[in-house]
Structure 1
Amino acid sequence: MVHWWVGEGLIRGRDNWTATELGFDYLSELVSRCLVEVVHRRGYDGRVYSCKMHDLVRDMTIQIAKDEAFCSFDEQGRQKLTQDSRWFGFTSDMDPKSLKKSSRLRALILQSSTPVSLWNVKSLMSLRVLDFSYCTIELPSSIQKLRNLQILVLRRCTKLHPSITSLKKLIILDLGSCPLQYLPHGLEKLIYLQELSGFRVASQSNTQGCRLNALLGLKQLRVLRMSINNESEISEDEWNVLSQLEKLKVLAIDAEDCKEKHVSQMLDRLLPPPSLQELYLRRYRHEILPKWINLKHLSSLQYLCLEDGDISNFEISSESDQDSNGTTWVLEGLCLKFMPNLILDWNVLLKDMPILRYAEVSRCFNLKNFPYPSDKPAVWKKNQD
């Protein structure tokens, strides 16, 4: 929803805040005014993950949307497409040809589970948001004609055309669930990109794939979700790429269950961004954490998530205690899920993380002194007992 607001131009970044960050702040304001009801929010900082409207508020919103020509609805409450529509949710029972008359359309979401092809884009030149979350698609070269596109979501894209790098105004590119082997060359051209999901580290032998050093051109990047596998390669001159992304706040790494030793060695050599606030490490099949996960390199980290891994040692304070002049972690949130080999004393962890106030724990059978059963999912909150 925040992405829709940004794409429609209702929110613009200011000062050091991106439009997306401001959008979440505005959403919290709507919640505080009882205009939006929270369904689920993140535990450690309260960020809203999903929400809903009361029926009366929804009726009022629909009426305002009609008056402002934001979107239109028929007598059954279903959205209908008109020449003045700026936002539209396309479903499988609709005729794609109807989009030819929608030159003012700025945001389009395809709510169809059946494979579709992208229609003639000449009628969609005003699009700022294009969301294919619910359908399978092969993205054609004609996508490059959507010069105003700022947000592109392709959750199940089976083929990505290199012309995607021509979308110079993109600020969000989500390829999170796409079964792609690599991203095409030219990613560094997207200099306004603030959020990138689905980046795959290619091998040196892959002449078509995008290498890690392509990220150096993305100086505005705030969120990066990347994956690494047995074929990935990170050369010596790429070890410090992430450390040069000075605005990066969120980093998620999916190791894709790789057990080869060279995978852990590659991750060991990386240097993290200087202002990282959130770190996610998933499907990491090695006993020891990457060497840079310590207080020396992550002094601003507020949230750490370790999920579905074989980590047994959680020695994140030994090196940092010697180099940090007595300072401690500023972690406020912690997530430990499906970590059956993890050996950890909860009381010791709380000493290393004195301001920790929220934790999610699941399937960590060797966690000692945790106040809840280790065989069931649990949420710990500071001073709740």
Structure 2
Amino acid sequence: MDPGFVSGFIGAAINILSDETLKALKVAIYCRSELKSLHEQLQRIMPLMDSAQSESQSISCTFKDDAVKTWLQTLQTLLKDANATVTGCTIPPYNVFARYRVAKSIKQTSKRIQTHIDNVGLINLVHQFAAHKDFIDRIDGIRSKMPVLRVQPVLEACVIGQEGLFQDLQDRILSNSNQERRIGITGMGGSGKTVLLKTVLNSEPMQDFFAQGLIVWLTVSKTPFPTLLRQLGRSIEGQAMEAAGALEEVGNEHNIKSFVRTMLRKYRFLIMLDDVWEGSEEVLEFLQVPQKRDPRDSKIVITSRDPGLLSKMGVKSTIALKPLTQEEGWELFKIHAFTDFHPGKLEPLARAVAQECKGLPLAIKTVGAAMAGRSHEAEQWQIALEKLRNADILYPEQEDQVFQRLRLSVDALNSNLRACFLYFAAYKEDAIIDVEDIAFLWNYEGLLGNSTGYGYLRQGRQLLNSLIDRCLIDVVSSDRNGAVRSCKIHDVLRDVALRIAEREEKCLFRAGKDLTTFQAGTFQRISVMDNKISAIPEDFQGPSLETLLLSANTKFSRISDNALRSLTALRILDLRDTAVQVLPESIGFLKQLICLRLSKNPIQNLPARSFIKLKRLQVLDLSECLNLTNLPEGISKLKSLQVLDLHGCESLGYLPLGLTSLVSLQVLKMENCFTSALPIQFKPPTAITGQILSLGRSRTPCLSDLKALTELRCLEIDNWKDTSIPEGTMSCFTKIERLILGMHSIKTLPQDMVNNKGLRHLVFKCSNINKLPAWMTEFQNLRSLKLFNSRSLEILPALDKLESLGCLEIHECDKLKALPIAFGRPGAFPNLRMLWLRKLEMLQNLPTIGRGSMPMLEVLGIEKCMQISRLPDGIKRLDNLKVLSIYGSRELIRATSQGGEDWKKAKRLQQDKHVKILKERNTEWINAFEMKLGDD
């Protein structure tokens, strides 16, 4: 047999089969039908791989065929893994566009195949393979049956029916016609303007054309021009290398304008102004910047519901989005409504429901997702159809018709999900909402079951995922495990939530409206966040008010005594990031208050006598109240308190001794909480002797003082002066999951700490400990471990056995000379995603990375490690590595620069594995890997 057979087969397969497989994998992320096609495709491929493998085994030659066979075996294994992955996710629940965990799994499979294919340069592909026409014909047969790709999805999937518009918009942006300098996209709300723009933005031709330029996205809406200007400046600052830190030195609007104009003259740019309304002309006028190069290089793309407004803005090139055709609408509807079977007998009824969505993509997706759970119930489909048809009769206005169609999706939710969805209207339009923040509100509104101070984030994400699955909420960012970090709501859906909340649920939601005051009424919830309110009105009456959200009103400084007296039903009061210095004595009238958020306020103390009347208070958030000096002595009477956050209270000099008897506490945060000159003190209760007040003797608190707090699940302490931790202290915290231990005087850790097996997140700041105990390896639930300022630490145990560990950070351990060799053993750290080493002055080299070591590692930081001069051996084995940061490590930077010993190795990492090598400080990747309270 021709020895070139195997490599010849591979050459043909690479060009035809594998490339199409990768494309199909990418499309499969977005569409269930593509998942099915991919599954069928892989089943057709596998016999060919088996056949080729058998043929390769029969070849007896010695030149490169061992490498060829090995390569082919690996490809066969990867394709089998891909098949298993696809088989396991052919029927995801509800809307597959939102199944990010599925997407992540498929992406990882795709990356492994791509990496393997990139290594084909090792294989001899020049042998003739014309004699093997039967194999080529079979491969071509597979190719002809493969799904046609509509677009190249990167972050967003193009809506069905927009394929032609995708190409049209891309061509206009890349055109050198002066008529295409400003391009408009118009269509009614929910027609897919933003999705189309995002899809085109993320296409390869677009990214390539503007690779050396600036790409800026601004959601305009009703955002004031100064705010947009600063957002524009920050975006430019983050992209232009020479502009790093520029905005820190320019504060006023005039200087920011000058900076932006200078940069726009220098660079080719693509600026996208999304959701432009009347009154936004100023931003477009400002962007009329003459450039040194041909102005046709740069483009501004504007989306608006109003085509007349685009004309007023001088836009001569406009793309108008039209409703989807019946067949296009049906194709999109099927993706969301039918996830596990063909509609069968229900098809005529389902088609009628899809048709009643009038070709509006947003309505088609949300209604389809709402009906997914009723796939077998003909009666429910008939009810939905009648509601949609009645919308046209009862509501002649197009806006109201759209509202009624989207309303159907909301009404399909159970009561808890519906209430959670309506809460998105409490935030200002286009707000990017932190999941922890909204889950916190859901929790203390009672929407997550029994209120707890810890763990609510996991429950909140479950509900949020249900809303995402139903296309009601969009994901903005996720953490390393695919869990949602931040999200937002489409402005049309927000309007729906707002109308329902204000008309039917006794809510006043007016966030971000530039209000200077607000009125009382029979409201149950009020959100006036992000406004210009300076005080609660004197005559305010709210006897039925349960939630009052006033955060980010930076001018809010005064709460009158009368204002709080009527709020007898108030449960949640949010005053974060305001200017409140004093709470009135009438705070004691809030008998039902369970959550008080005062963080980032200049408040100095709390009204002691009235404050201790808040018997139901569960959450007291005083974080970053920099002027706070003490807490009420009677805090021990707040028996319901579950969360006490004193993080960053730098002026806090005294703690009431009664703090140690708050036995319901689940979260106690006291990191960075101490007087700069003196250690924090415990203040005993005041004793009255005749007319003389006696404070007794204050003393430094000890960790053992907290032994009674057996419900603690999160404890964060910093700069405590214990010289040792008495045996038996740590074993009291049987429920502890998150521990930040800042105790610089202790030299050893107590043996009983081994009993804290529920620990998930552990941070040490213990500068006198020189050795971590071997029993650390028993923390098998540990997800993150961080060692900060452990300046005496010389020896680490074999932490590689921590199978759940996802993040390991070691900072400023001055005496640490070496990491355990076991760190690089095969099978070490099976789930580690980030390893960050910083300011390890004595560390000279890193362990060799063996095959199979740290298989999931994505981020490796070796920052300011002055004695490390070479990259670790075996670094090329880290198949999932995305980022390598060597900031401040001078010798390592020299070695990886052109001409250095590791120049070729670094270049291969960049070219072959697409690793991003950072030689300057970058916190973006660190923040992306931070874990939040209650995270898994």
Same fold (TM over 0.5): yes
Counterpart residue identity of residue 760, structure 2: Q
Q: Does the 8 A contact of 1:305 with 1:335 survive in 2?
A: yes
Q: Does 1:374 align with 2:895?
A: no
- Counterpart of 1:12 (choices 418, 435, 449) is 449
Q: Does 1:132 align with 2:598?
A: yes
Q: Which ranges in structure 2 are unaligned for 5 or more consecutive residues?
A: 1-436, 521-541, 674-678, 684-696, 837-860, 876-880, 888-917, 930-936
- Counterpart of 1:89 (choices 533, 538, 549) is 549
2:719 maps to what in 1?
Answer: 228
Q: Does 1:23 align with 2:487?
A: no
Q: 1:332 to 1:246 in 2, by over 3 A?
A: same
User: 3-state SS of the aligned residue for 1:130?
Assistant: strand
Question: Within 5 A, what are the aligned runs for 1:231-380?
Answer: 232-233=721-722, 238-255=726-743, 258=744, 263-265=745-747, 267=749, 271-272=753-754, 273-282=756-765, 284-286=766-768, 288-291=770-773, 294-296=776-778, 298-307=779-788, 310=791, 313=794, 315-317=796-798, 328-336=801-809, 338-339=811-812, 341=814, 343-344=817-818, 348-351=822-825, 353-359=828-834, 361=836, 362=861, 363=863, 365=865, 369=872, 372-375=884-887, 376=918
Q: Does the 8 A contact of 2:680 with 2:700 survive in 1?
A: yes
Q: 1:241 to 1:208 in 2, by over 3 A?
A: same
RMSD (Å), alpha carbons = 3.8
Whole-angstrom CA distance in 2 between matches of 1:312 and 1:218: 30
Q: Does 1:197 align with 2:679?
A: no
Q: CA deviation at 1:288?
A: 3.3
Q: 1:74 to 1:6 in 2, by over 3 A?
A: closer
Whole-angstrom CA distance in 1 between matches of 2:828 and 2:519: 53
Instruction: Return the TM-score normalized by structure 1.
Output: 0.77
- Counterpart of 1:147 (choices 605, 615, 620) is 615
Q: 1:271 to 1:340 in 2, by over 3 A?
A: closer
Counterpart residue identity of residue 275, structure 1: G
Q: CA deviation at 1:171?
A: 1.4
Whole-angstrom CA distance in 1 between matches of 2:457 and 2:500: 23
User: 3-state SS of the aligned residue for 1:196?
Assistant: strand
2:132 maps to what in 1?
Answer: none
Q: 1:51 to 1:153 in 2, by over 3 A?
A: farther
Question: Within 5 A, what are the aligned runs for 1:156-171?
Answer: 156=625, 157-171=628-642
Q: 1:209 to 1:309 in 2, by over 3 A?
A: closer
1:325 maps to what in 2?
Answer: none
User: 3-state SS of the aligned residue for 1:331?
Assistant: coil
Q: Does 1:102 align with 2:538?
A: no
Whole-angstrom CA distance in 2 between matches of 1:68 and 1:344: 62
Q: CA deviation at 1:27?
A: 3.5
2:491 maps to what in 1?
Answer: 55
Q: Does the 8 A contact of 2:703 with 2:729 survive in 1?
A: yes
Q: Compare relative contact order (CA 8 Å, sep 6+) and give the higher one, 1 or 2.
A: 1
Whole-angstrom CA distance in 2 between matches of 1:189 and 1:133: 24
Instruction: Return the TM-score normalized by structure 2.
Output: 0.34
Whole-angstrom CA distance in 1 between matches of 2:682 and 2:559: 41
Q: CA deviation at 1:131?
A: 0.5
Larger proportion of helix? 2
Q: 1:73 to 1:349 in 2, by over 3 A?
A: same
User: 3-state SS of the aligned residue for 2:781?
Assistant: coil
Q: Does the 8 A contact of 1:70 with 1:87 survive in 2?
A: no
Counterpart residue identity of residue 163, structure 1: G
Whole-angstrom CA distance in 2 between matches of 1:292 and 1:233: 23
Q: 1:347 to 1:305 in 2, by over 3 A?
A: same
Counterpart residue identity of residue 253, structure 1: L
Whole-angstrom CA distance in 2 between matches of 1:129 and 1:36: 26
CA deviations over 1:30-50 (Å, ceiling 9, x no partner) = 44444444444442x444444
Q: CA deviation at 1:303?
A: 1.7
Whole-angstrom CA distance in 2 between matches of 1:309 and 1:356: 25
Q: Does the 8 A contact of 1:182 with 1:210 survive in 2?
A: no
Question: Within 5 A, what are the aligned runs for 1:169-180?
Answer: 169-179=640-650, 180=652
Q: CA deviation at 1:110?
A: 1.2
